Amino acid sequence: GPKVLQIPSHQIIDMGQMVTLNCDPVSNHLYFYWYKQILGQQMEFLVNFYNGKVMEKSKLFKDQFSVERPDGSYFTLKIQPTALEDSAVYFCASSLGDKNTLYFGAGTRLSVL
């Protein structure tokens, strides 16, 4: 089936540094999402993105977070600067339409030290 790839699978950085999480969505999909899952907790919605714009974001999507998909390449989540509470698994997803199936990547585990 369609695949969403997330690179890298695990990233370790020092608090205060910048990090960019990369997502290669399904090629013809138009909607892109980031979710955050802290260890032992449920997966929480961060942001969704369509047509070059943020359509919706949650309270977890702090000012230090940004997303973009320049020229149809990777859909990225940038955190600058990182904080300890940003440690989590970040799942990327994409869908063809806004109420279609979400296809998830395997997640990137971010460890902020």
Name the DSSP class of 28: T
Site for another protein in 51-80 (CB under 8 A): 55-56
Q: Does 98 bind another protein (CB under 8 A)?
A: yes
Q: What is the dihedral of CA 107, 83, 13, 7, to 10 degrees?
A: 20
Tell which one of 67, 77, 107, 110 touches another protein (CB under 8 A).
Answer: 107
Q: Does 28 bind another protein (CB under 8 A)?
A: no
Question: Judged by CB, which is closer to another protein: 67, or 82?
Answer: 67
Question: Judged by CB, which is closer to another protein: 19, or 105?
Answer: 105
The 10 Å Cβ neighbour count of residue 92 is 30
Tell which one of 4, 19, 21, 79 touches another protein (CB under 8 A).
Answer: 4
Kindly tell me the burial class for residue 8, based on how many C-beta atoms sit within 10 Å of its own C-beta (0-12, 13-18, 19 or more): exposed
